[in-house]
Amino acid sequence: MRGAKSAKWVAGAIVVALAATACGGNGDGEGESKGSGPAGYVSIDVGEPQKPLIPADTNESNGSYVIQSLFTQLLDFDAKGNVVYTNAESVTTDDSKTWTVKLKKGWKFHNGEEVTSKSYIDAWNWYANIKNNQQNSFWFQDIKGYDDVHPEKGDPKAETMSGLKAVDDHTFTIELKYTMPYFNYKLGYTTWAPLPKVFYDDPKAFGQKPVGNGPYKFEKWDHKKLIQVKAWDEYQGPNKAKNKGVQFKAYTTLEAAYKDVVSGNLDMIRQVGPTDLPKYKQDLGDGAIEQPYAAIQTLTPAFYSKTFKDIDPKVLQGLSMAIDRDTITKTVLNNTRTPAKSFTPPGVKGNQNLDTDVFTYNPEKAKKLIQEGGGVPGNKFTIQYNTDGGHKEWVTAVCGSIRKATGVDCAGDPKPDFATDLEARDNDQVKGMYRGGWVADYPVNANFMKELYHTTAEANNGKFSNKEIDGLMDKADKAKSLDESVKAFQEVEKKLVDHMPAIPLWYYRINGGHGKNVDNVNVDFHGDLEVWAVTTK
């Protein structure tokens, strides 16, 4: 029969096709656990880290959650932003330039190796070396000798930074290029974690299976599904794990994670999606979390653009007063933000109430200020944002508010995704303003000014430049003590109102939650849930 003969060929073709596409359905051993994991473990919706788990190569939130559980750096901060010593006994200085670090004795890595001065110095030298392409290498730029290991072009001239010297096994000194009264605060960033010797044998393998000195020990990483860490009994820091372990579970959407929290398959969620916000307090009851953290959103004018070149700051003040922050945060943003009152968010040292009405909605004064300043060129401007991050709604609302209050036409300038948005910012192609955002790296007000509005600051994408402000910031950096520096930056902040390098919009708030199986879920200063303190019921 003709048909039967053809059927043989069809079967043959299927075999060929399957072989060609290599989809023979190999039984990949997916031993995923159901429910919320082994007894005593807590689970949280932390997705797949972008990069291998090396402390200096991670600055996105998923990766840093895992890094923070596996590694402990010299010091950390409490919810108020005060220093809490973890691996360090003390970090002191007399002149804000040379810092002495004393380590606590008896600390070990998970493989039993002792944590010594060398563990830190060797790690920092490796992180800073340009050959190793570490994303956060610039964090070490204040240290003397950084330019030798990280030249702008070509190969490094040295393997080590001359500013790092070991005094003994548990004491070392850091010499900076210049004075920096808040340098110890920078040390609280996860990037400054030490590394064990085994790291240098094979950094690549280490990144998939890290050995740290933190409260948790690495167990397994099922890519895109789950990272599991186990509480480490010998940990001696103040943030010793109160649960038996953590599962960082990757979810594809906030909604999916939220459903699992409600149905008990997941213990904690970091952020509730917009669709579930109106009802999450009802669903989760006591488990609902709503707390501010040290992050701010701004509208940043591109000072090189046609619209905002040589603009009179009065116009920017006027635009700022034309934005009805109260209504927008309440309605469009579902109460997930708090209207901004200054350039620094609460929770950082030196946050103050600026004595100004520039951040208050006042249509009449807004109109007047814009007129006095000579108006917005062309009477219209654009706000650039990325459409993949849920910004469209508030940009539209802000524009509506400005249009209604002042008659200045304002439109969104959407970019399809974050990558495109960033490229336009980096290449100075922003046509009007762009949406800026900043989360505290360390809880000091300088972090929200020096890194954003200093002429030479890397993140100064609006290209704001003012000699007087630069001078004041440089002076504040030379202050003798942290308090003086913070005060000096407070003066800078007052001056910023006159120049308006950006229009602060609102501070972020975390709207997360946890299920009935866990307790003691707190939020730290940069908005992360403190996983180590969570207890199971």
Please, which of residues 210-239 interact with another protein by CB under 8 A? 223-225
**What letter does residue 278 receive in the DSSP assignment?**
G
Binding footprint of another protein, residue count (CB under 8 A):
73
Q: Kindly tell me which residue out of 100, 173, 265, 465 binds another protein, with binding defined by CB under 8 A.
A: 265
**What letter does residue 475 receive in the DSSP assignment?**
H
By beta-carbon proximity to another protein, the closer residue of 122 and 441 is: 441
Structure tokens at 493: 């902040």
Q: φ, ψ for residue 90 (rounded to 5)? A: -160, 155
Site for another protein in 377-416 (CB under 8 A): 388
Q: Closest Cα partner for 187 from 292, 99, 73, 272?
A: 73
251 belongs to the binding site for another protein (CB under 8 A): yes
CB of 15 to another protein, least distance (A): 10
Q: Kindly tell me which residue out of 374, 407, 437, 471 binds another protein, with binding defined by CB under 8 A.
A: 437
What is the DSSP code string of 476-530?
HHT-SSHHHHHHHHHHHHHHHHHH-SSEEEEEEEEEEEE-TTEE---B-TTS-B-
Interacting stretch for another protein, rule CB under 8 A, among 111-119, 285-293, 313-321, 453-461?
453-461
155 belongs to the binding site for another protein (CB under 8 A): no
202 belongs to the binding site for another protein (CB under 8 A): no
By beta-carbon proximity to another protein, the closer residue of 167 and 459 is: 459
6 belongs to the binding site for another protein (CB under 8 A): yes
In the numeric block, the tokens 């520039």 are attached to: 358
CB of 248 to another protein, least distance (A): 14
Site for another protein in 486-525 (CB under 8 A): none
By beta-carbon proximity to another protein, the closer residue of 25 and 112 is: 25
3-state helix, strand, coil in the chain (%, to 5): 35, 20, 45
Interacting stretch for another protein, rule CB under 8 A, among 110-118, 132-140, 308-316, 476-484?
132-140
In the numeric block, the tokens 């380590």 are attached to: 103
Structure tokens at 301: 């004018």
259 belongs to the binding site for another protein (CB under 8 A): yes
23 belongs to the binding site for another protein (CB under 8 A): yes
Using DSSP's 3-state secondary structure scheme, residue 225 falls into coil
CB of 152 to another protein, least distance (A): 5
Q: Closest Cα partner for 319 from 69, 101, 50, 500?
A: 500
Residues 6 or more apart whose CB falls under 8 angstroms from that of 369 comprise 314, 315, 317, 318, 321
CB 462 within 8 A of CB 302: yes
By beta-carbon proximity to another protein, the closer residue of 51 and 499 is: 51
In the numeric block, the tokens 């159901």 are attached to: 34
Distances (CA, A) of 134 to 114, 137, 140, 248, 383: 25, 5, 11, 24, 32
371 belongs to the binding site for another protein (CB under 8 A): no
By beta-carbon proximity to another protein, the closer residue of 51 and 240 is: 51
205 belongs to the binding site for another protein (CB under 8 A): no
Q: How does strand 433-439 pair with strand 380-386?
A: parallel
The upper half-sphere exposure of residue 229, i.e. CA atoms within 13 Å in the direction of its Cβ, equals 31
Separation CA 508–CA 338 (nearest Å): 7
60 belongs to the binding site for another protein (CB under 8 A): yes
59 belongs to the binding site for another protein (CB under 8 A): yes
If you compute the radius of gyration of the chain from its CA atoms, what whole number of angstroms results? 26
158 belongs to the binding site for another protein (CB under 8 A): no
CB of 457 to another protein, least distance (A): 7
Interacting stretch for another protein, rule CB under 8 A, among 50-58, 163-171, 395-403, 512-520?
50-58
By beta-carbon proximity to another protein, the closer residue of 35 and 106 is: 35
Site for another protein in 273-302 (CB under 8 A): none
253 belongs to the binding site for another protein (CB under 8 A): yes
First to last CA, the chain: 70
456 belongs to the binding site for another protein (CB under 8 A): no
Q: Closest Cα partner for 265 from 257, 274, 255, 273?
A: 257
Residues 6 or more apart whose CB falls under 8 angstroms from that of 212 comprise 67, 70, 71, 72, 109, 110, 193, 218
By beta-carbon proximity to another protein, the closer residue of 113 and 388 is: 388
CB of 297 to another protein, least distance (A): 11
By beta-carbon proximity to another protein, the closer residue of 79 and 439 is: 439
Interacting stretch for another protein, rule CB under 8 A, among 16-24, 80-88, 329-337, 361-369?
16-24
Using DSSP's 3-state secondary structure scheme, residue 122 falls into helix
Q: Kindly tell me which residue out of 175, 207, 277, 535 binds another protein, with binding defined by CB under 8 A.
A: 207
The upper half-sphere exposure of residue 385, i.e. CA atoms within 13 Å in the direction of its Cβ, equals 22
By beta-carbon proximity to another protein, the closer residue of 259 and 403 is: 259
Using DSSP's 3-state secondary structure scheme, residue 112 falls into coil
By beta-carbon proximity to another protein, the closer residue of 32 and 201 is: 32
526 belongs to the binding site for another protein (CB under 8 A): no
Give me the amino acid identity at 156: P
By beta-carbon proximity to another protein, the closer residue of 117 and 298 is: 298
417 belongs to the binding site for another protein (CB under 8 A): yes
255 belongs to the binding site for another protein (CB under 8 A): yes
